[in-house]
Structure 1
Amino acid sequence: MSFQHRFDNPVPAPRLDHAPVVLRFAQLFPRDLKRREMHRKRKGGDLSHIRHHLTELNHRWVGEEGWIDDFLQTVERVARENLRNEIDPREGKRRWTEVKRVTQRGLVDPWKFTKKGPLREGILTVNKD
Protein backbone atom coordinates (compact mmCIF):
# COMPACT_ATOMS: atom_id res chain seq x y z
CA MET A 1 0.00 0.00 0.00
CA SER A 2 1.37 3.42 -0.88
CA PHE A 3 0.39 6.83 0.32
CA GLN A 4 0.40 9.76 -2.11
CA HIS A 5 0.23 13.37 -1.00
CA ARG A 6 -2.42 15.50 -2.64
CA PHE A 7 -1.75 18.98 -3.89
CA ASP A 8 -5.18 20.57 -4.17
CA ASN A 9 -3.96 24.17 -4.25
CA PRO A 10 -0.43 24.26 -5.66
CA VAL A 11 1.35 27.61 -5.44
CA PRO A 12 4.02 28.29 -8.07
CA ALA A 13 7.44 29.34 -6.82
CA PRO A 14 8.37 32.93 -7.63
CA ARG A 15 10.71 33.35 -10.60
CA LEU A 16 14.15 34.72 -9.81
CA ASP A 17 15.84 37.12 -12.20
CA HIS A 18 19.20 35.53 -11.39
CA ALA A 19 20.12 32.47 -9.40
CA PRO A 20 22.03 33.20 -6.17
CA VAL A 21 23.67 29.75 -6.12
CA VAL A 22 24.17 27.16 -8.85
CA LEU A 23 25.64 23.75 -8.04
CA ARG A 24 26.37 21.40 -10.90
CA PHE A 25 28.08 18.02 -11.06
CA ALA A 26 29.40 16.49 -14.27
CA GLN A 27 30.92 13.13 -15.08
CA LEU A 28 34.11 13.02 -17.10
CA PHE A 29 37.03 10.91 -18.24
CA PRO A 30 40.67 11.70 -17.42
CA ARG A 31 41.21 12.60 -21.10
CA ASP A 32 38.77 15.52 -20.59
CA LEU A 33 40.78 17.13 -17.79
CA LYS A 34 43.05 19.21 -20.04
CA ARG A 35 40.00 20.66 -21.80
CA ARG A 36 38.41 21.57 -18.45
CA GLU A 37 41.61 23.30 -17.36
CA MET A 38 41.73 25.25 -20.63
CA HIS A 39 38.17 26.38 -19.98
CA ARG A 40 39.01 27.36 -16.40
CA LYS A 41 41.94 29.49 -17.57
CA ARG A 42 39.80 31.04 -20.33
CA LYS A 43 42.17 30.02 -23.13
CA GLY A 44 41.04 28.85 -26.56
CA GLY A 45 37.65 28.60 -28.18
CA ASP A 46 34.96 31.28 -28.33
CA LEU A 47 35.58 33.72 -25.46
CA SER A 48 33.03 36.35 -26.51
CA HIS A 49 30.68 35.40 -23.65
CA ILE A 50 33.39 35.79 -20.98
CA ARG A 51 33.57 38.80 -18.67
CA HIS A 52 37.35 38.82 -18.32
CA HIS A 53 37.37 41.34 -15.47
CA LEU A 54 35.60 38.76 -13.26
CA THR A 55 37.93 35.85 -14.07
CA GLU A 56 40.32 36.61 -11.21
CA LEU A 57 37.45 36.06 -8.77
CA ASN A 58 37.36 32.35 -9.70
CA HIS A 59 38.94 30.04 -7.15
CA ARG A 60 40.11 26.46 -7.65
CA TRP A 61 39.72 24.56 -4.39
CA VAL A 62 41.39 21.31 -5.36
CA GLY A 63 44.77 20.69 -6.97
CA GLU A 64 47.94 22.67 -7.48
CA GLU A 65 49.37 23.78 -10.81
CA GLY A 66 50.33 20.70 -12.80
CA TRP A 67 48.00 18.36 -10.92
CA ILE A 68 46.47 17.07 -14.15
CA ASP A 69 49.82 15.86 -15.49
CA ASP A 70 50.58 14.22 -12.13
CA PHE A 71 47.18 12.54 -12.14
CA LEU A 72 47.54 11.26 -15.71
CA GLN A 73 51.01 9.88 -14.90
CA THR A 74 49.56 8.10 -11.88
CA VAL A 75 46.80 6.56 -14.03
CA GLU A 76 49.40 5.28 -16.51
CA ARG A 77 51.62 3.93 -13.70
CA VAL A 78 48.70 2.07 -12.12
CA ALA A 79 47.68 0.63 -15.51
CA ARG A 80 51.26 -0.64 -16.00
CA GLU A 81 51.30 -2.16 -12.50
CA ASN A 82 47.97 -3.87 -13.18
CA LEU A 83 49.33 -5.31 -16.42
CA ARG A 84 52.46 -6.57 -14.65
CA ASN A 85 50.26 -8.10 -11.91
CA GLU A 86 48.33 -9.97 -14.60
CA ILE A 87 51.42 -11.22 -16.43
CA ASP A 88 53.61 -12.32 -13.50
CA PRO A 89 51.32 -15.07 -12.13
CA ARG A 90 50.77 -16.47 -15.63
CA GLU A 91 54.51 -16.59 -16.24
CA GLY A 92 54.94 -18.36 -12.89
CA LYS A 93 52.48 -21.02 -14.01
CA ARG A 94 54.09 -21.16 -17.48
CA ARG A 95 50.87 -20.18 -19.25
CA TRP A 96 52.66 -18.64 -22.21
CA THR A 97 49.58 -18.38 -24.42
CA GLU A 98 47.80 -16.30 -21.79
CA VAL A 99 50.92 -14.16 -21.26
CA LYS A 100 51.04 -13.47 -24.99
CA ARG A 101 47.32 -12.61 -25.11
CA VAL A 102 47.54 -10.23 -22.12
CA THR A 103 50.72 -8.61 -23.47
CA GLN A 104 49.13 -8.03 -26.87
CA ARG A 105 46.03 -6.54 -25.26
CA GLY A 106 48.22 -3.99 -23.50
CA LEU A 107 47.26 -1.44 -20.88
CA VAL A 108 43.70 -1.25 -19.58
CA ASP A 109 42.12 1.68 -17.75
CA PRO A 110 42.47 1.06 -13.99
CA TRP A 111 38.78 1.60 -13.24
CA LYS A 112 35.56 -0.17 -14.06
CA PHE A 113 34.10 1.02 -17.33
CA THR A 114 31.39 3.62 -17.02
CA LYS A 115 29.64 5.25 -19.94
CA LYS A 116 30.21 8.79 -18.67
CA GLY A 117 33.57 8.41 -16.95
CA PRO A 118 35.02 7.61 -13.53
CA LEU A 119 35.61 11.20 -12.41
CA ARG A 120 33.19 13.80 -11.05
CA GLU A 121 33.51 17.55 -11.41
CA GLY A 122 31.63 19.87 -9.11
CA ILE A 123 31.04 23.50 -10.01
CA LEU A 124 29.65 25.92 -7.48
CA THR A 125 28.68 29.38 -8.71
CA VAL A 126 27.57 31.99 -6.21
CA ASN A 127 26.18 35.42 -6.98
CA LYS A 128 27.74 37.92 -4.57
CA ASP A 129 24.52 39.96 -4.31
Structure 2
Amino acid sequence: MLNKSRNTINNLSSPFLTIPIIPSEEVRYRLPKKVKVYEYYSISDGHCRVFKEADGVKELGKQEILDPNDVSYMNLFVNGVLQPKESYDVQRGVIKLNTLDVPPKGAPVILQMFIV
Protein backbone atom coordinates (compact mmCIF):
# COMPACT_ATOMS: atom_id res chain seq x y z
CA MET A 1 0.00 0.00 0.00
CA LEU A 2 2.91 2.33 0.71
CA ASN A 3 4.27 1.83 -2.85
CA LYS A 4 0.91 2.69 -4.35
CA SER A 5 0.70 6.04 -2.57
CA ARG A 6 4.27 6.91 -3.62
CA ASN A 7 3.45 6.19 -7.25
CA THR A 8 0.40 8.41 -7.03
CA ILE A 9 2.47 11.26 -5.61
CA ASN A 10 5.14 10.84 -8.31
CA ASN A 11 2.55 10.84 -11.10
CA LEU A 12 1.07 14.19 -10.09
CA SER A 13 2.01 17.05 -12.30
CA SER A 14 3.73 20.04 -10.76
CA PRO A 15 1.45 22.95 -9.86
CA PHE A 16 1.13 25.82 -12.29
CA LEU A 17 2.25 28.95 -10.49
CA THR A 18 2.16 32.42 -11.94
CA ILE A 19 2.97 35.78 -10.54
CA PRO A 20 0.13 38.19 -11.19
CA ILE A 21 0.93 41.23 -13.27
CA ILE A 22 -0.24 44.39 -11.53
CA PRO A 23 -0.59 47.37 -13.80
CA SER A 24 1.75 50.13 -12.73
CA GLU A 25 0.05 53.29 -11.63
CA GLU A 26 1.67 56.66 -11.14
CA VAL A 27 0.76 58.18 -7.81
CA ARG A 28 1.34 61.85 -7.10
CA TYR A 29 1.00 63.47 -3.74
CA ARG A 30 0.36 67.14 -3.20
CA LEU A 31 1.85 68.46 -0.02
CA PRO A 32 -0.54 70.67 1.94
CA LYS A 33 0.08 74.37 2.04
CA LYS A 34 1.50 75.79 5.19
CA VAL A 35 -1.09 77.50 7.34
CA LYS A 36 -0.20 80.23 9.80
CA VAL A 37 -2.51 80.63 12.76
CA TYR A 38 -2.67 83.78 14.88
CA GLU A 39 -4.77 84.33 17.99
CA TYR A 40 -5.96 87.36 19.87
CA TYR A 41 -7.08 86.83 23.49
CA SER A 42 -8.98 89.32 25.61
CA ILE A 43 -11.22 89.26 28.68
CA SER A 44 -14.56 91.09 28.67
CA ASP A 45 -15.11 93.83 31.24
CA GLY A 46 -18.90 93.39 31.01
CA HIS A 47 -19.46 96.84 29.45
CA CYS A 48 -17.66 97.20 26.09
CA ARG A 49 -18.51 95.81 22.67
CA VAL A 50 -15.22 97.03 21.17
CA PHE A 51 -11.94 95.23 21.75
CA LYS A 52 -8.59 96.74 20.71
CA GLU A 53 -5.11 95.29 20.59
CA ALA A 54 -4.29 97.11 23.82
CA ASP A 55 -7.11 95.16 25.55
CA GLY A 56 -5.38 91.84 24.86
CA VAL A 57 -4.06 89.62 27.65
CA LYS A 58 -0.53 90.91 28.11
CA GLU A 59 0.70 87.75 29.87
CA LEU A 60 0.37 85.90 26.54
CA GLY A 61 2.73 88.26 24.75
CA LYS A 62 1.99 90.70 21.96
CA GLN A 63 -1.69 90.56 21.02
CA GLU A 64 -2.37 91.56 17.44
CA ILE A 65 -5.59 91.87 15.41
CA LEU A 66 -4.62 91.49 11.75
CA ASP A 67 -6.22 93.28 8.82
CA PRO A 68 -9.03 91.05 7.43
CA ASN A 69 -7.70 91.67 3.91
CA ASP A 70 -4.45 89.92 4.91
CA VAL A 71 -6.24 86.93 6.49
CA SER A 72 -7.75 83.94 4.69
CA TYR A 73 -10.24 83.00 7.39
CA MET A 74 -11.14 84.01 10.94
CA ASN A 75 -13.28 82.78 13.85
CA LEU A 76 -14.48 84.70 16.89
CA PHE A 77 -15.28 82.90 20.13
CA VAL A 78 -17.02 84.69 23.00
CA ASN A 79 -17.16 82.74 26.25
CA GLY A 80 -16.17 79.61 24.30
CA VAL A 81 -19.00 79.90 21.75
CA LEU A 82 -18.27 80.37 18.03
CA GLN A 83 -19.97 83.58 16.84
CA PRO A 84 -21.67 83.96 13.45
CA LYS A 85 -19.94 86.38 11.08
CA GLU A 86 -22.93 88.74 11.21
CA SER A 87 -22.41 89.36 14.93
CA TYR A 88 -19.00 91.08 14.64
CA ASP A 89 -16.78 93.23 12.44
CA VAL A 90 -13.00 93.16 12.39
CA GLN A 91 -10.68 95.93 11.26
CA ARG A 92 -6.95 96.18 11.74
CA GLY A 93 -6.48 96.42 15.51
CA VAL A 94 -10.21 96.42 16.41
CA ILE A 95 -13.06 93.92 16.96
CA LYS A 96 -16.60 95.37 17.14
CA LEU A 97 -19.50 93.24 18.35
CA ASN A 98 -22.82 93.89 16.55
CA THR A 99 -24.93 92.20 19.23
CA LEU A 100 -27.43 93.88 21.56
CA ASP A 101 -26.00 92.21 24.63
CA VAL A 102 -22.47 92.56 25.94
CA PRO A 103 -20.30 89.55 26.88
CA PRO A 104 -20.45 88.92 30.63
CA LYS A 105 -17.63 90.21 32.78
CA GLY A 106 -14.69 87.80 32.75
CA ALA A 107 -15.77 86.04 29.53
CA PRO A 108 -12.86 85.24 27.20
CA VAL A 109 -12.93 86.78 23.73
CA ILE A 110 -10.75 84.86 21.29
CA LEU A 111 -10.17 85.74 17.64
CA GLN A 112 -8.50 83.09 15.49
CA MET A 113 -6.90 84.27 12.24
CA PHE A 114 -5.68 81.89 9.53
CA ILE A 115 -3.37 82.71 6.63
CA VAL A 116 -3.08 80.04 3.93
TM-score normalized by the length of structure 1? 0.27
RCO greater where, 1 or 2, for CA within 8 Å and sep 6 or more? Answer: 1
Bigger radius of gyration among the two: 2
More strand by share: 2
TM-score normalized by the length of structure 2? 0.29
